[in-house]
Amino acid sequence: MTRVACQANNGTTCLAHTRAYRDGKLVAEGFDVDLVSDHLEVEGTVVWLDLLQPSQEDLRVLVEEFGLHPLAVEDATHEHQRPKLDKYGDHLFLASYVAQLNEETAELAVREVDAFITPRALVTIRKSEGLEVEPLLERWDSDKKLASSGVPYLLHGLLDLLVDGHFQAVQAIDEQLEALEDVLFDEEPRSRELQRRSFEVRKSLVLLRRVVLPMREVVNSLLRRDLEVVDETMQPYYQDVYDHVLRATEWTESLRDLISTILETNLTLQGNRLNETMRKLTSWAAILAVTTAVTGFYGQNVPYPGFQQTWGFYTSLALLLGISGALYIAFKRRGWL
């Protein structure tokens, strides 16, 4: 991997990666950005240009070198774009996201990655270092035979890497929900931990859903023949990416229902525990009420059987133990204690 500086009109710089392919073979790497047009002058050459956190002045090179539409370049400068695929004349603009889940905090981090797709060049704009270049280059270098397809092959490698990241994030959230299920049915209630963790997972799931769902439309649009982006050779590979997007989308929807079920079950369990506690308190109150009644009766200031007699004390004690024991056995059989 080689990094060079791309010079804008005002002298500002950004980190850049450059590659040139000819007939599926890598012929140049790490050259200056202003040499991109020289490589494109050679018939059969395809160029990849990657810019990391470029400024507006840095992006002027795109207009000069590739003739990109100003609106597309403006979209590339603004963050928080919705995943989309826009067509501008002879080129396309792709907005997508890298998704990574922190397994300790259950917090999802998404970082925007934009791309300009021209007939002979793929230009990627990374607004942060969320997308690593090395795995992308490994995918491109893994099959030199398919590399002869040019831009469709490079674009497939990028989409495949992004969608695999979405899939891994969905799988990580699924594992988080399995851990929540263990907490939910733990013998010692941990409602506070469950509520906090479920809130973080649900927030991450909502954010991931915003990233994953639009990708279905993006990949489906690329498969359209009228755009003339995907050739016959790469068609099955794009279809495979589309299938992965559908699986990630369906998985996300199922997890959305699952986390709602977990929250509802938690509320139900809390209600059941409260009812069980109330039954126990009521049962003990009934038992104590007997002792209060007996001792209160024997505490009257009037003569009664056994008044000021030893056997009267033992009689009251027998009543206390007998009636309370009978109530305890009755409540225990009903499951109230």
Distinct helix (H) and strand (E) counts, the chain: 8, 8
Does residue 90 contact residue 227 with C-beta atoms inside 8 Å? no
Residue 97 confidence class, pLDDT cut points 50, 70, 90 = very high
Q: Is the pLDDT of residue 216 over 80?
A: yes
pLDDT of residue 8: 39
Q: Is the pLDDT of residue 138 over 50?
A: yes
Residue 4 confidence class, pLDDT cut points 50, 70, 90 = very low
Residue 103 confidence class, pLDDT cut points 50, 70, 90 = confident
Residue 20 confidence class, pLDDT cut points 50, 70, 90 = very high
pLDDT of residue 260: 81
Does residue 183 contact residue 190 with C-beta atoms inside 8 Å? yes
pLDDT of residue 99: 92
Instruction: Give the E-state strand segments of 152-305 in sequence order.
Output: none
Q: What is the mean pLDDT of the chain?
A: 82
Q: How far is CA 81 from the centre of its chain?
A: 17
Closest by CA position to 166, among listed 203, 321, 174: 174
- Count Cα neighbours of 205 within 13 Å in the Cβ-side half-sphere: 25
Task: Between 114 and 325, name the one with better pLDDT.
Answer: 114
Q: What is the dihedral of CA 169, 174, 178, 183, to 10 degrees?
A: 60
- Count Cα neighbours of 134 within 13 Å in the Cβ-side half-sphere: 0
Does residue 158 contact residue 219 with C-beta atoms inside 8 Å? no
Q: How far is CA 308 from the centre of its chain?
A: 78
Domain boundaries, the chain: 277-333
DSSP state of 150: -
pLDDT of residue 162: 93
Residue 300 confidence class, pLDDT cut points 50, 70, 90 = low
Among the residue ranges 54-58, 151-155, 177-181, 269-273, the one predicted with the least confidence is 269-273
Closest by CA position to 246, among listed 223, 266, 275: 223
